[in-house]
Amino acid sequence: DQQVKQNSPSLSVQEGRISILNCDYTNSMFDYFLWYKKYPAEGPTFLISISSIKDKNEDGRFTVFLNKSAKHLSLHIVPSQPGDSAVYFCAASTRITGGFKTIFGAGTRLFVKA
């Protein structure tokens, strides 16, 4: 049972426009939500996160929105650039004894066309 779902395997956007990547989760116990970006043949790299007590976090061109009642979060990239073309993983984290447990979604591949 996937607790974190990214239902769009891919997304294509024109350079300069907004990219919106979506993520749904099922477990209301998650404390933090994170987005990671992954280029081919590399490991994922952290992009931005949001606490479960917030509804928005912004960092430059990247903004994450959290709708707890809908158990939904989204990542907005404005303006999109060709270098943003990558796979984006949504992740949700909860505290456990000794640390954290983080569940990842399947990823959405973003193509930004020049």
Question: CA 63 to CA 19: how far, in whole Å?
Answer: 11
102 binds another protein (CB under 8 A): yes
99 binds another protein (CB under 8 A): yes
Tokens of 8: 């769009």
Distance in Å, CB of 82 to another protein, minimum:
22
Site string for another protein, 10-49 (x = CB under 8 A): ----------------------x-x-x----xxxxxx--x
Contact 62, 76 (CB under 8 A): yes
Which residues partner with 75 through β-bridges?
21, 64
- Which of 85, 86, 58, 60 lies closest to 74, judged by CA? 58
Tokens of 47: 């992009």
With contacts defined by CB under 8 A, name the span among 20-28, 64-72, 77-85, 89-97 that binds another protein. Answer: 89-97
Binding region for another protein (CB under 8 A): 2, 32, 34, 36, 41-46, 49, 51, 87, 89, 93, 96-104, 106-107
